[in-house]
Amino acid sequence: MQWCIGGAGVLFVFVCYQNMSSLGKAPAMEQIGNFIREEVAVKAWQNCMPAMLCEGQEEPVSMESYLLGKVESLFPIYGFSDAMPAYDTQIESGLEGALWAEKSEEAGGEENEAEDARKGQEDGNAQAESTEGGAQEMAEGGEAGEEGKAGEEEAKSGEEGAGEKEQGKKKKKKEDKADGKGSHIETAKAVEIPREKLNDFDYLLQHFYQVDRTTTIDSSQLNAAEMLAKDMRLQGGNENVQILIYHTHSQEGYADSAPGDSNASVVGVGEKLAALLREEYGFNVMHHTGEYDVADRDNAYSYAGPALEQILAENPSIEVVIDLHRDGVAETTHLVSEVNGKQTAQIMFFNGLSRTTANGDIAYLANPNLADNLAFSFQMKLAAEEYYPGFARGTYLKGYRYNLHYRPKSLLVEVGAQTNTVEEAMNAMEPLADILHKVLGE
């Protein structure tokens, strides 16, 4: 049958050629020969080239695979983006961010400028109050003995005030230990991450971050040396509030949380963290339990903003603001690690970049503290990796602001997910408190 069809085809071509020849429009035989040779050459290249390229391999590769391999070898970031495991997370939905951005845009740039000016004045008041508190602490140290008297003289001279403040802190730590406080056990590093590795942007991005598709970032913002150079230690004493813990989404619970029981929700987890920071490390902590997502979760950030502004205005000594959340993942995902023999929910730090892939920088959601925010979460993530490997997931970067602009040391933390138990989430507060202590210093 094939021979018959082939013969018929040849006969048809011959007849067509004869008809065209009688009309004087037939192509020359040389043109037909060239066409046949070109077709044969193309077919031979298509059939032989892939085999030649994969010579010595067990299985031949397609031209597409070969070319993609070349691209990956020339541009390693392509292979990284293709191989990076996608996050199974529902972190801070785009709808929430979009609505918050829309509200801010309607408010206009003038309101944001006024907010920045007011925030700057509050920061100035915080510094002044912290300085005043340090002087008071030095005076108390002077009444305690000869060591305090020497420190008081240094404070009066104005040249060695920082040294006396450190002595006062050590004295306070001794008093706390005598009262049964500050008796935490110092942990040793489990691993040491070479700092030179962190200077490789691709390594840093792959091992420490997950960038949401809604935003972008480059090495100018994720510079490990610059982020590590920022001093995140607390500047004021603990006579006034130093750390604020609150919850934009206070209704988030866990697998075995009892409905309506705030102690078994992310709020109860926040209280556990506050207690550890107070009792084990001597920090002055305020835990704010206001609810902003009861009637309208999508606008929780816009509702929480004014409350935060009021708290910070009334307590300008606050240096650290922690927004504690619980992530949402697929029901088959269990975010758990083992820390000190306990089943412990994994945590994840989160930063908003005030920039979207589609529109670039969002001027009306400007964050003057973004560099410090990134440095804070990076130092926390690095400490987690070195002291508690596997405890912290990669820091998530997304496009909006999420109220992280109020203080340089602002932190958004996801503690486990809805598939974790309350006990696992509570257990996570012990290593988290220790990491905060290591980064914030004494």
Query: Would you list the DSSP string of 148-163?
Result: HHHHHHHHHHTSSHHH
Q: Residue range 248-270: average pLDDT?
A: 95
Q: Is the pLDDT of residue 158 over 60?
A: no
The answer to whether the beta carbons of residues 225 and 382 sit under 8 Å apart is no
Answer whether residue 169 shows pLDDT above 50: no
Query: Average pLDDT of 297-307?
Result: 93
- The alpha helices in 209-265, defined as continuous H runs, are 224-229
d(CA 15, CA 25): 13
Residue 108 Rama label (left phi>0; alpha psi -120 to 50; beta): left
Burial class from Cβ neighbours inside 10 Å (0-12, 13-18, 19+) for residue 319 reads buried
* 140/133 Cα distance (integer angstroms): 11
Contacts of 395 (CB under 8 A, 6+ apart): 208, 209, 210, 348, 349, 350, 351, 377, 378, 381
Global confidence as pTM: 0.65
pLDDT one-digit tens code per residue, 346-361: 999 999 999 999 999 9
Give the tokens for residue 421. 């138990």
Pairing of strands 320-327, 409-417: parallel
Q: What pLDDT, on a 0 to 100 scale, did the predictor assign at position 247?
A: 97
Consecutive H or E run containing 302? helix 300-314
Residue 434 has pLDDT above 80, yes or no: yes
Is the pLDDT assigned to residue 379 strictly greater than 70? yes
Domain ranges for the chain: 2-74, 94-107+194-440
Q: How confident is the model at residue 45 (pLDDT cuts 50, 70, 90)?
A: low
Structure-token pair, residue 390 = 């596997």
Check: CB of residue 411 under 8 Å from CB of residue 318.
Answer: no
Most confident of 94-103, 135-144, 222-231: 222-231
Q: Measured between alpha carbons, how far is 181 from 305 in angstroms, rounded to an integer?
A: 34
pLDDT tens column, 21-32: 666 665 556 666
Place of tokens 């604020």: 244
Q: What is the mean pLDDT of residues 354-378?
A: 96
What class has domain 94-107+194-440? alpha beta
Higher pLDDT, 263 or 40: 263
Whole-number pLDDT of residue 59: 47
**Closest C-alpha to 366, from 350, 375, 354:** 354
Which residues, 6 or more positions from 440, have their beta carbon under 8 angstroms from its beta carbon? Answer: 232, 233, 234, 283, 320, 409
**Taking a C-beta distance cutoff of 8 angstroms, is the pair 387, 432 a contact?**
no
Cα torsion angle, 304, 309, 312, 314, sign: negative
Q: Are strands 285-287 and 243-246 parallel, antiparallel or unpaired?
A: parallel
The Cα–Cα gap between 35 and 24 comes to 20
DSSP letter at 182 equals S
Question: Would the pLDDT of 381 be above 90?
Answer: yes
Q: Which residue has the higher pLDDT, 6 or 273?
A: 273
Tokens 């920071």 found at: 277
Residue 323's pLDDT is what?
Answer: 98
Q: Tokens 């700092």 map to which residue?
A: 195
Angle between helices 300-314 and 94-107 (to 10 degrees): 60
